[in-house]
Amino acid sequence: MKLLEINDLWIRYVTQNGVVNAVNGANLSIESGETLGLVGETGAGKTTVARAILRLIESPPGDVYRGEIFFENENLLKKTKAEMRKVRGNHISMIFQDPMTSLNPVMEVVRQISEGIRVHSKLPKRECREKALEMLELVGIPANRGDEYPHQFSGGMKQRAIIAMTLVCSPKLLIADEPTTALDVTIQAQILDMLNTLKEDTGTSVLLITHDLGVVAETCDKVAIMYAGEIIESGTLEHIFNNVAHPYTVGLFGSLPSLDKDVRRLNPIPGLMPDPVRLPVGCKFAPRCPDANAECMQRHPEAVEVGPGHLVRCHKYGGKAGGDDA
């Protein structure tokens, strides 16, 4: 059953320097108990999609002007602010990018974790505290550290505390936005193992936003590759890793170091992502694509199915011209 379904989502930011086209017709879906990896360069629109799910796009300047976001068959974009407050933290939680700034520096950690329980339940304060301490233990932090302040925690402990905070109300969907950024490799592995274990124990679905294809390989069931606000390739983990199709995805894998090949230099993707204020008319990746032709420069491709459940937005696979980019 589809827990989350995003259909034709368009988001822009209206600024003094022009209209920033952040998300351009994105489509995503997550099944119950599934982990979807959303991968792309900085500025691709990944975090904007995540914030749109929780209705955290500030207006102005942000404008979600087209599309649907269904959660358990209800369109979140049509809910009132009061209805969304009941959804956030209770049914959908989000781990934001920087754990160092996500915790209140003048409030004890256990009080911050129990706050979500108090908001979404009628439990007495003592029971909220006990449940928060149990959650800390579950993520590997001794309960006797709960009354300490964030500055007394290491970076890895802060990230664990954030995860405890987001999972304390047993949400059905967890959005993890770069949950291992700024952590060393050992702590990163521990955090990912913990997320996998908690997902298996609670049945929570996960939208994992990351740059790291290695993290995706270890944790995800499905993958969506995002570029310039569009999902340009999506499918199962096997589709993306064993049957890669889009030239951009090929470039991402080509820029990774390999233990099997003896090469002196990596092979990065040339150029930069296009300016979202002035996006190309045709395929957004065409200016950087080694396979681009005149059609790619002039016509915007639709997503086509190159295998069961494997979608690619590329003229090379017969993607005919899509709709306008308004």
DSSP-derived secondary structure for 203-223: --EEEEEES-HHHHHHH-SEE
Q: What is the pLDDT of residue 59?
A: 85
Determine the average pLDDT of the residues in 119-138.
87
Report the alpha-carbon distance of residue 209 to residue 177 in Å, rounded: 5
- Whether a cis peptide bond, with omega within 30° of 0, leads into 61 is yes
How does pLDDT run across 247-277, given as a tens digit for each residue? 999 999 888 777 677 777 777 888 889 999 9
110 in Cβ contact with 133 (< 8 Å): yes
Phi, psi at 200, each rounded to 5° = -65, -40
Residue 258 one-letter amino acid:
S
- Going by pLDDT thresholds of 50, 70 and 90, the confidence category of residue 135 is confident
pTM: 0.88
- Going by pLDDT thresholds of 50, 70 and 90, the confidence category of residue 74 is very high
Report the alpha-carbon distance of residue 301 to residue 11 in Å, rounded: 19
Determine the average pLDDT of the residues in 9-17.
93
Q: What are the Cα distances from residue 95, in Å, to 112, 151, 172, 274?
A: 14, 19, 14, 28
3-state SS, residue 194: helix
How does pLDDT run across 137-178, given as a tens digit for each residue? 888 889 999 999 999 998 888 888 888 888 888 889 999 998
Q: What is the pLDDT of residue 259?
A: 67
Determine the average pLDDT of the residues in 121-145.
88
Among residues of the chain, what percentage have pLDDT more than 90? 55
Q: What is the pLDDT of residue 287?
A: 93
What number of CA atoms fall less than 13 Å from residue 247's CA on the CB side? Answer: 18
Report the alpha-carbon distance of residue 175 to residue 326 in Å, rounded: 28
Report the alpha-carbon distance of residue 11 to residue 22 in Å, rounded: 6
Q: What is the pLDDT of residue 184?
A: 72
- Going by pLDDT thresholds of 50, 70 and 90, the confidence category of residue 318 is confident
User: Angle at which helices 155-167 and 125-138 pack, to 10 degrees?
Assistant: 130
Mean pLDDT in the chain?
A: 88
- Going by pLDDT thresholds of 50, 70 and 90, the confidence category of residue 208 is very high
Q: What is the pLDDT of residue 232?
A: 95
Q: What is the pLDDT of residue 99?
A: 65
Q: What is the pLDDT of residue 324?
A: 42
Token pair, residue 283, equals 């395929």
